[in-house]
Amino acid sequence: MAVLNRIVNILILVLVITAGVFSFMLYSKRENLTKGMKNMADAINKTAATLDRGSGTNTKNRLSGDALGHKNGPDFKGALRELDNAADKVVTQRDALAKSIADAGKSLGSNTLNKDALMRVDGYEAQRKEFNKAVSSYKAKADGVRNEFAAVGRKVGANVSANDFANNHSAAAGEVKRKIDDVVKSKNQVVGDIALITRKLGL
């Protein structure tokens, strides 16, 4: 009986030790799982904050670390869906902006701007420089044209400058047109007077 009692005690001791080991393993697994959930919640929140930056959206607050914490029964599936929707909006805006820049570049006379290259992370910077170059080139041409118009206007007596054409081109052009009309009118008057004189003199 004493031997049996001793065997039972040993079995109980082994079971207690086994239960302790399993409890520790479960606790360790729970801690790792909790830590992993927290890291995932933080990553989702940081990504949402990046997507929110300057966009006017408020995804970050709806996907905060507290809202996705393990104590609140996190809805990672819903969070990832909301994150996907926010990312989809950013991509849509990126595509529209890339197309607009490419179209504007073509209007400015650049044939090297490409929508697909503007959408790529590794191609955007070169395309941005190309667009700035096209804008500068167009501005230089426009400034040259305004300077020429102003020079022509001053030759016919109009008090205009290149800035006048830049700030209010219709008023400046109207001033030049009036002066040109005056010159044409004066020229016609002179021609008429000469014709009259020649007739009077019988020439």
Instruction: Find the domain containing 181 and state its range.
Output: 113-203
Reply yes or no on whether the pLDDT at 83 is more than 70: yes
Q: Are 42 and 65 in contact (CB under 8 A)?
A: yes
pLDDT classification of 75: cutoffs 50, 70, 90: low
User: Cα 145 from chain centroid?
Assistant: 31
pLDDT at position 203: 67
- Residue 128 vs residue 5, higher pLDDT: 128
Q: Are 90 and 121 in contact (CB under 8 A)?
A: no
Q: Please check whether residue 200 lies inside any domain of the structure.
A: yes
Q: Please check whether residue 127 lies inside any domain of the structure.
A: yes
Q: Mean per-residue pLDDT for 95-102?
A: 89
Q: Please check whether residue 124 lies inside any domain of the structure.
A: yes
pLDDT classification of 167: cutoffs 50, 70, 90: confident
Q: Please check whether residue 62 lies inside any domain of the structure.
A: no
pLDDT classification of 73: cutoffs 50, 70, 90: low
Q: Please check whether residue 146 lies inside any domain of the structure.
A: yes
> Exposure string (b/e) for 164-186, b if CB count within 10 Å is 16 or more?
bbeeeeeebbebbeebbeeeeee
pLDDT classification of 202: cutoffs 50, 70, 90: confident
pLDDT classification of 170: cutoffs 50, 70, 90: confident
Reply yes or no on whether the pLDDT at 196 is more than 80: no
Q: Please check whether residue 48 lies inside any domain of the structure.
A: no
pLDDT at position 43: 79
pLDDT at position 150: 86
Q: Which of 29-33, 53-57, 72-76 has the highest mean pLDDT?
A: 29-33
Domain count, the chain: 1
Q: What is the mean pLDDT of the chain?
A: 80
Q: Please check whether residue 190 lies inside any domain of the structure.
A: yes
pTM of the model: 0.57
Which ranges in the chain belong to alpha helices (H)? Answer: 2-52, 59-62, 76-107, 115-119, 124-155, 162-167, 169-201
Q: Please check whether residue 77 lies inside any domain of the structure.
A: no
